[in-house]
Structure 1
């Protein structure tokens, strides 16, 4: 019995040795790095090439909704024209009924809105605000659309302001330029007081000195006339002639106390839900540009640290030029949902409530709709596209955050 089993065991042992020898022989065959990479690549290739990237159900729903929206674009355009025609006809009939005299004469209807390219009665001041839009690679498509809406809102706010700044947009290109030339039909080319440049913010800041060179009477520039009270007069004169260039960033150690005549202030056009912290500050530091943050914690008590949207930063600067008071400017602009209130004198939170540090909660659907409608109605050159902009905003294009504060 034992003698019968022993050869079988020997045969199994010898077979194992042969397998081991074969494995060793295979392992010792030289293989080049290129062959290794090719083998690994071809092994993974079927999965990568044969399978489409998986997307969530929500993303799939959004994609299908967007496809339906694009497919019905022409039909909506026809319906908008029909509705506009019907509204005009109703207004004409109402005007005729209310204003016809005894002889059947009807006076001419007044225009329903201000003429296109109408510039408000505000005073132009020697201040430039530049929107640095060289962050396309850091944003998703819906965030780029949101930024476009914010830029439109900035133009609208500036046009209505009591004291207007010169506006400029740097690094204008890519998808933003495609959008402004396409769906917005190049309306930006007629915006008064707003210039668009392909160059970066440093080059545009140099150009800003040219359009701010026109002398201004101190009586006509609001808070700027009082901006440097308490400073040495010689220092004030020198800074006023040369102007300053400041990149607004919440990571800065400097606090912006006031705006200076001939000053240029740069706002980062970044809508990223605060994924890329410090990118604006680093960008300015690398280019040798001074940075500063708005004095939010010095004037406001906030429920938590907040991120300001691009148009809010711009509007705060406009309100400061009007009031000469940061506290009043903040209270005029800050949304009520943020729960901000003025600080008492000497009460200053040490941890700081500065924009660009934490993510702001998304606005509600009603707030997005109201903001979109206001931006469209106020900007005279986007008045022809209310439904397009409003519906795109309602389709999940949050009025996002910017790192500038």
Structure 2
């Protein structure tokens, strides 16, 4: 396949409900022919430039081979578990048994909300990163003995389309809401997490929902979540990073890192240990020298 001739097989086109007429044309034909039509004489919707064509072909091939790739992944996982059993290695519960687990209770009735109201501010690849991080949050939460209540709000069409690539997301132990968090939860029970907030959170309150902004913006919209919280009149706060660790990079964390830190602290892990375990090595994290033993002892009692 060359740049001048990106073609597609009939079965691949049919996999996503696209007219098979596409396979008859090279990129040059598609970009210059003003009137491509199917066998019934209907004009075909089509990409208009080379980059759009590449994206379209990538999607088609993903949809076509998705089932095959999933089957291969399951076969490999089955083989690994078989080898582990023979070697007396415990790999923990498998995915099938984890999916059957239901979160009847959450520690201290604490919840996390991921706010997906920022779709219009992100490119497609950044929206995919958000979905991938949500998937990571779901994974670590369902493996916890004391999982948090997990909600996703402002779950619009773009988000639904992005997450639909992950089969079975409707069965996750996650509450998806099309509405804003303000339309679902009482305002007094909400706290927006933001690194720009002047309020430092030391303890997570019962019957309270902590909001994480679902935004990957590469620092283009610095302070946006803090501004939104202030304008909406809801509480806001930041994690006590400066108190317990030093970082060689800026304090902005990914969605899944914030989620996992909150989860570990709610499980009873100290702030210092939670931050050291969760934050990646590239952040250059090390323990603050000025942490008093009394501060650590008080934190362990929460």
Superposed, 1:254-403 pairs within 5 Å as 254-345=199-290
Change (3 A) 1:88 1:174: closer
Contact 2:195 2:252 in 1 (8 A): no
Looking at both structures, which has the greater relative contact order when contacts are Cα pairs under 8 Å and sequence separation is at least 6? 1
CA distance in 2: counterparts of 1:151 and 1:75, whole angstroms:
25
Equivalent residue, structure 2, for 1:245:
190
- Contact conserved, 1:284 with 1:291, CA < 8 A, in 2? yes
Q: What's the C-alpha RMSD, in Å, of the aligned pairs? A: 3.4
Q: Contact 2:193–2:238 (CA<8 Å) still a contact in 1?
A: yes
Q: Quote how far apart the aligned CAs of 1:89 are.
A: 10
Aligned length: 237
| Contact in 1 for aligned 2:116/2:215 (Cα 8 Å) | yes
Q: Deviations over 1:23-44 (max 9, x none)?
A: xxxxxxxxxxxxxxxxxxxxxx
The CA deviation at 1:65 is: 4.8
| Greater helix content | 1
Alignment deviations for residues 306-330 of structure 1 (CA, whole Å, 9 cap, x no partner): 3200010010001111234211110
Whether the 8 Å contact between 1:169 and 1:195 is mirrored in structure 2 is yes
Give me the whole-angstrom Cα distance separating, in 2, the residues matched to 1:63 and 1:72: 14
User: Any stretches of 5+ residues in structure 2 without a counterpart?
Assistant: 1-48, 87-92, 293-302
Q: Could you tell me the TM-score, scaled by structure 2's length? A: 0.68
The Cα shift of 1:122 comes to 9.7
Structure 1 gap segments, 5+ residues each: 1-59, 99-110, 208-242, 348-405
Query: Structure 1 residue 246: deviation in Å?
Result: 0.9
Contact 1:133 1:171 (8 Å CA) reproduced: yes
TM-score (norm 1): 0.52
How far does residue 85 in structure 1 lie from its aligned partner after superposition? Answer: 8.8
Q: 1:190 aligns with which of 165, 171, 174?
A: 171
Cα distance, 1:264 vs. partner? 1.2
1:132 aligned onto 2:115: yes
Q: Aligned pair 1:165/2:148, yes or no?
A: yes
Distance 1:318 1:78, change over 3 A: closer
Structure showing greater Rg: 1
Aligned ranges 1:28-177 → 2 under 5 Å = 65-73=54-62, 75-77=64-66, 79-80=68-69, 83=72, 113-115=95-97, 117-119=99-101, 124-125=106-107, 126-177=109-160
